[in-house]
Amino acid sequence: MRTIVKTGLLLLALLVYGGSLLHSSRAGMRTEDKQGRKEPESISPRQLAQAKTLFNERCARCHGTDGRGETVIGYMLSIPNFTDEKWWTEEKSDKRFIASITHGKGEMPAFGKKFSRQEISALTAYVRRFNKASR
* pLDDT number for residue 88: 85
The packing angle between helices 45-58 and 117-133, to 10°, is: 90
pLDDT in tens, 109-123: 999 999 999 999 999
**pLDDT beneath 50: ranges in the chain:** 5-40, 134-135
**What are the residue ranges spanned by the domains of the chain?**
2-133
Q: State the fold for domain 2-133.
A: Cytochrome Bc1 Complex; Chain D, domain 2 (1.10.760)
- List beta partners, residue 31: 39
Of 99, 94, 95, which Cα lies nearest the Cα of 39? 94
pTM surpassing 0.85? no
- What's the burial of 108, exposed, middle or buried (CB within 10 Å: 0-12/13-18/19+)? middle
Rounded-to-integer distance, Cα 122 and Cα 88, Å: 19
Contact 85, 79 (CB under 8 A): no
* pLDDT number for residue 52: 97
